[in-house]
């Protein structure tokens, strides 16, 4: 089967399962058909490190619209372990070299790239070329140029693209977005978002290796803070200025240890973030005209918690990863909104690059000009 016909074949399969094919009939008929559609999409995890092992694979055991169908690993010993634990058939197990053969495997609908950051673009593009829908972990890539290449590959191959921003499917975050949308506390005057942890026990880790990570705290935890100030105001920033702080240059040799950045928004709101590989913190706070709201923790995957000037928030706890992957599967199957599209990952990388530029210019204010294409997430 040549590439084009394989792609057509895969697209046909995805569409046959989903409401996309039903767009021409009434919304009610579409909804009924969607409810009846019990097909689960097969996900292949690429990279079986800690996030795949302890979060994504267990979450897939409970997911309603997708399941763990395959794995891609560079470590042969993991093949046996995962096959035994999750009943993954031999034909759905790949390594980094034969990964492209996944194009011929109709059991795999979605490829989820969970590798070190600098490998995201390569595997996302190869997955798209194989005709598979793509979820790419955060940060989406290590440059805006790479984000563009991923988006382009997915468009050219007619596949969907999502970023692993699980919080958009999470109820506390959704409540923040509701508060912002409905202006519950009036105009937002100030928003602050911190995300960091102490990463001092393992100097050989890839997160401290610039070639593999693309950057330090900012690439890792900083993208959560950037996300928080954006969905926490409902606006993209119009400028950023930033500074870097280094207290352990002997340990953080190649990558940033701690960064602070200040944002301006068109509404007049002011934003502040702090991200670190040497300071533990995880919160979001907004001060508004008629009150405030806060999440603490705001982006961990242990349960989030939060309160507003009106009282405690209390939502049921469910696996964020399960909710996220089910949302992406529903986007494919039933044409529901993509909660974290590639353009969102690219927007955040534009901000990351502007922050590094500001730091290199001694904290100079860098203007940001986002067009309407960069949404705030559904
Ligand atoms: P990890 O170090 O635990 O796993 C990395 C995996 O990549 C391992 O299986 C390793 O064998 C493989 N790998 C392949 N080539 C490698 C190389 N050259 N060097 C190092 N490892 C290599 O990392 P992780 O915590 O699972 O993170 C993977 C990705 O997932 C990262 O992009 C990270 O930002 C993202 N992540 C996202 C969340 C989230 O909440 N969305 C949480 C954790 C990690």
Residue 199 is predicted with a pLDDT of 83
Residue 371 neighbours by CB under 8 Å, 6+ apart: none
Check whether residue 220 and residue 75 sit in a common domain: no
Number of folded domains in the chain? 2
Check whether residue 216 and residue 361 sit in a common domain: yes
Domain boundary residue among 130, 164, 198? Answer: 164
Is residue 376, in this structure, part of any structural domain at all?
A: no
Residue nearest atom 9 in ligand 1 by C-alpha distance: 49
Residue 374 is predicted with a pLDDT of 65
Check whether residue 273 and residue 355 sit in a common domain: yes
Residue 9 is predicted with a pLDDT of 32
Is the Cβ atom of 48 under 6 angstroms away from ligand 1?
yes
> For the domain that residue 361 is a member of, what is the CATH number?
3.30.360.10
Is residue 238, in this structure, part of any structural domain at all?
A: yes
Q: Say how far apart CA 274 and CA 222 lie, in whole Å.
A: 7
CB 264 within 8 A of CB 238: yes
User: Which residue range forms the structural domain that includes residue 178?
Assistant: 168-315+342-367
Is residue 332, in this structure, part of any structural domain at all?
A: no
Residue 344 is predicted with a pLDDT of 96
SS3 5: helix
β-bridge partners, 133: 110
Is the Cβ atom of 168 under 6 angstroms away from ligand 1?
no
- Ligand 1 pocket test, pick from 47, 52, 327 with the greatest ligand atom count within 8 Å of Cβ, gives 47
Domain boundary residue among 131, 147, 164? Answer: 164
pTM: 0.91
CB count within 10 Å of CB 335 equals 17
CB 321 within 8 A of CB 55: yes
Check whether residue 173 and residue 151 sit in a common domain: no
Is the Cβ atom of 75 under 6 angstroms away from ligand 1?
yes
Is residue 372, in this structure, part of any structural domain at all?
A: no
Residue of 340, 357, 344, 346 whose CA lies nearest to 143? 346
Is residue 331, in this structure, part of any structural domain at all?
A: no
Is the Cβ atom of 216 under 6 angstroms away from ligand 1?
no
DSSP state letter for 39:
P
Residue 201 is predicted with a pLDDT of 82
Check whether residue 288 and residue 208 sit in a common domain: yes
CB 357 within 8 A of CB 244: no
Is the Cβ atom of 74 under 6 angstroms away from ligand 1?
yes
**Residue numbers of the chain with a pLDDT score lower than 50:** 1-36, 377-378
Is residue 130, in this structure, part of any structural domain at all?
A: yes
CB 102 within 8 A of CB 113: no
> For the domain that residue 81 is a member of, what is the CATH number?
3.40.50.720
In the set 51, 165, 172, 224, the catalytic residue is: 224
List pLDDT tens digits, range 158-183. 999 999 999 999 999 999 999 999 99
For residue 34, CA distances in Å to 11, 23, 46, 107, 332 come to 18, 11, 29, 20, 11
Check whether residue 201 and residue 86 sit in a common domain: no
β-bridge partners, 282: 195
For 283-303, give one letter per residue: b (16+ CB within 10 A) or e: bbbbbbeeebbbbebbbebee
In the set 138, 160, 177, 346, the catalytic residue is: 138
CB count within 10 Å of CB 313 equals 18
Residue of 318, 365, 352, 51 whose CA lies nearest to 224? 352
Residue for token pair 């280094």: 246
- Ligand 1 pocket test, pick from 46, 51, 173, 301 with the greatest ligand atom count within 8 Å of Cβ, gives 51
C-alpha dihedral sign at 368, 213, 72, 53: negative
Check whether residue 124 and residue 233 sit in a common domain: no
CA of 13 to the centre of ligand 1 (A): 30
Residue 160 is predicted with a pLDDT of 98
Check whether residue 183 and residue 158 sit in a common domain: no
Q: Say how far apart CA 189 and CA 240 lie, in whole Å.
A: 16
Ligand 1, atom nearest to 52 Cα: 26
Is residue 231, in this structure, part of any structural domain at all?
A: yes
Establish whether 40 is a catalytic residue. Answer: no
Domain boundary residue among 105, 133, 164? Answer: 164
Check whether residue 222 and residue 288 sit in a common domain: yes
Is residue 328, in this structure, part of any structural domain at all?
A: no
CA of 278 to the centre of ligand 1 (A): 19
């Amino acid at each position: 089967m040549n590439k084009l016909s394989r792609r057509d074949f895969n697209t046909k399969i995805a569409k046959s399962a989903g409401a996309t094919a039903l767009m021409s009939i009434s919304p009610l008929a579409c909804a009924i058909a969607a409810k009846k559609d019990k097909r689960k999409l097969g996900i292949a995890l690429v990279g079986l490190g800690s996030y795949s092992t302890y979060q994504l694979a267990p979450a897939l055991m409970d997911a309603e619209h997708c399941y763990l169908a395959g794995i891609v690993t560079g470590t042969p010993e993991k093949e046996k372990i995962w096959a035994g634990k999750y009943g993954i058939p031999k034909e759905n197990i790949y390594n980094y070299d034969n990964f492209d053969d996944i194009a011929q495997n109709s059991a795999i609908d979605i490829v989820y790239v969970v590798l070190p950051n600098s490998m995201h673009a390569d595997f996302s593009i190869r997955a798209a070329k194989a005709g598979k829908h793509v979820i790419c972990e955060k940060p989406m890539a290590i440059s805006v140029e790479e984000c563009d290449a991923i988006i382009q590959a997915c468009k050219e191959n007619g596949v969907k693209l999502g970023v692993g921003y699980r919080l958009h499917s999470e109820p506390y975050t959704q409540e923040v977005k509701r508060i912002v949308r409905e202006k519950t506390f009036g105009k937002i005057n100030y928003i602050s978002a911190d995300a960091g942890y102490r990463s001092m026990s393992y100097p050989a880790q890839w997160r401290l290796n610039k070639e593999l990570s693309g950057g330090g705290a900012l690439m890792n935890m900083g993208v959560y803070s950037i996300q928080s100030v954006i969905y926490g105001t409902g606006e993209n920033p119009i400028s950023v200025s930033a500074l870097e702080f280094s207290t352990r240059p002997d340990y953080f040799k190649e990558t940033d240890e701690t960064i602070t950045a200040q944002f301006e928004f068109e509404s007049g709101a002011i934003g502040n973030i702090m991200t670190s590989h040497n300071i533990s913190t995880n919160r979001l706070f907004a001060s508004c005209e008629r009150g405030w709201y806060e999440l603490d923790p705001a982006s961990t995957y242990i349960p989030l918690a939060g309160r507003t000037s009106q009282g405690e928030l209390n939502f049921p706890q469910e696996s964020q990863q399960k909710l996220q992957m089910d949302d992406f599967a529903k986007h494919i199957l039933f044409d529901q909104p993509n909660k974290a599209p590639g353009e969102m990952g690219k927007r955040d990388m534009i901000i990351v690059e502007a922050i590094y530029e500001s730091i290199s210019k001694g904290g100079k204010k860098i203007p940001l000009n986002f067009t309407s294409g960069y949404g705030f997430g559904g």
